[in-house]
Amino acid sequence: EDQVTQSPEALRLQEGESSSLNCSYTVSGLRGLFWYRQDPGKGPEFLFTLYSAGEEKEKERLKATLTKKESFLHITAPKPEDSATYLCAVQELGGAQKLVFGQGTRLTINP
């Protein structure tokens, strides 16, 4: 059974303090790994898709990387507006087009 585990559950940083969020996954074959951002009381907003080990994608202060067993979301010099819950999800090769989500990391950036 596909499994996705995110760590830490919550992370509190000072503005400008860089860090990384982790997403570990277990699938028989990976079609894609997705990162979403979710603000309180709102739907998730798509950030990145990664397809194969070694791939990296960047958007503003965020960079996502992928290995065969985990993905990292690196946040460089974060600002308070980066505070949100970050969700990781995987789609399995050959299966129905559905995503399996981790429980999320709640990130708080203090000014």
Binding mask 73-92 for other proteins (x = CB under 8 A): --------------x-x-x-
The correct pick among 29, 43, 94, 111 for binding other proteins (CB under 8 A) is 43
Told to check if 56 binds other proteins by CB under 8 A, we report no
Please answer whether residues 27 and 94 qualify as being in contact, where contact means their C-beta atoms are separated by less than 8 angstroms: no
Give the span between the Cα atoms of 1 and 27, in whole angstroms.
7
Told to check if 62 binds other proteins by CB under 8 A, we report no
3-state secondary structure of 71: strand
Q: From the CB of 5, what's the least distance to other proteins, in Å?
A: 10
Please answer whether residues 99 and 90 qualify as being in contact, where contact means their C-beta atoms are separated by less than 8 angstroms: yes
Write down the residue that tokens 């194969």 correspond to.
52
- Of residues 78 and 104, the one with the C-beta less far from other proteins: 104
